[in-house]
Amino acid sequence: MAKIIYRQLKRDELLEASRLFQRSFNHLRRKNNRPTYDDKITEVSPFILHTFKTDREGYWGAFDGEKMIGFGHAGMRGKQWYLANLFVAPKSQVRGVGSELLKRCMRYGKGKADSYSLCTFSYNEVSLALYSSFGIMPIHPIFVMYRKIDKNFRVRPTGLRMVEDKSNKSILRINRLEKKIRGYSHLIDLRFYARSSHVKILNFYKDSRWVGYSAVIRNSHIMPAGSPYQKYLPDILTDSVRECIRSKGKEIEINIGANNRASFQRLKSHGFKIFEMVVFLSTKPYSDLSRYAPANLAMY
């Protein structure tokens, strides 16, 4: 067994890292009787390419000889350090690889970050213990809510006016809101969304007043979404669900803070169920989940 080498990843190693991610992710899910994702990975996802471009210093790999056995990726958005991915090959998970990768990923935030944060699955006990040992503690649970779209699925309009808008003005307005309700802005990621043909940026109005936004990805994922007014987030989610149905999506997934009773009850009334629960961990609390529906585990 060769000595484990840790170094920053290269562009041509991202496909191998993506496949390692899938193997490790599915191993974790099989252990916990969760469905796996077995589509063959033949190319690097646009999200990984985007974040490698913006956060190359945050990409680390662990190698046993020539073989990649671990992969970690952290991003910086303003003073927010966020761990998007940390996965170790199943046969190498008792060698301290995860801890060493986390140390190196955290260096990316040294002298710049005022918080260190991430999301992980509630059943991932090993990772919860690892992150807590670094002072990144559980802050709040998040429900991943899910519903299939069938021919009988109907949702009534809420009365809000919905406008698809990827203009720079729209993106800047959303970014200003996210700084307040998310806790940090991430303009570079919003612009990444705006460039994607698979993402719709929806703006919502009550009469002439702007009351929030949502991003609908591939007509099936509503994430993120937000409003300056707590009372409008359930309506924004409802009308976003209607957009998925109208666009002939096959399923819908939304992330909701477990303390957001109004949005949870609204989605439950539409037939959504809790698919699984994840945990947000951080060195300090931030974000108002009564007004914000997080993007995903890798971006929050």
pLDDT digits 0-9 by tens, 124-136: 999 999 999 999 9
Instruction: Kindly write down the DSSP assignment for every residue of 128-172, as one continuous string.
Output: HHHHHHTT-EEEEEEEEEEEE--TT------S-EEEE--SHHHHH
Average pLDDT over residues 64-84: 96
Least confident stretch, 32-36, 81-85, 142-146: 32-36
Domains of the chain: 4-113 (3.40.630.30), 145-293 (3.40.630.90)
Average pLDDT over residues 272-292: 97
Closest CA to 209 of 172, 159, 150: 159
pLDDT at 1: 58
Which residue is listed with tokens 């959504």? 272
pLDDT band, residue 61 (cuts 50/70/90)? very high
Convert the pLDDT of each residue in 176-198 to its tens digit: 999 999 999 999 999 999 999 99
**Distance between CA 5 and CA 90 in Å, rounded?**
17
Average pLDDT over residues 15-25: 95
For residues 226-245, one letter each, b for 16 or more C-beta atoms within 10 angstroms of the residue's C-beta and e for the rest, the string is bbeeeebbbbbbbbbbbbbe
pLDDT at 38: 84
3-state secondary structure of 55: coil
Average pLDDT over residues 11-34: 95
pLDDT at 237: 98
Tokens of 281: 């961990």
What's the CA dihedral at 85, 126, 144, 48 to 10 degrees? 10
The residues, ordered by sequence, that sit 6+ positions from 64 with a Cβ below 8 Å of its Cβ are 1, 2, 4, 92
pLDDT band, residue 284 (cuts 50/70/90)? very high
Convert the pLDDT of each residue in 217-265 to its tens digit: 999 999 999 999 999 999 999 999 999 999 998 999 999 999 999 999 9
Convert the pLDDT of each residue in 237-248 to its tens digit: 999 999 999 999
Residue 29 has phi, psi (to 5 degrees) of -70, -35
- Residue 46 scores a pLDDT above 70: yes
3-state secondary structure of 268: helix
pLDDT at 241: 97
pLDDT at 254: 97
Q: What is the mean pLDDT of the chain?
A: 96
Number of H helices, E strands in the chain: 8, 13
Share of the chain above pLDDT 70, in %: 99
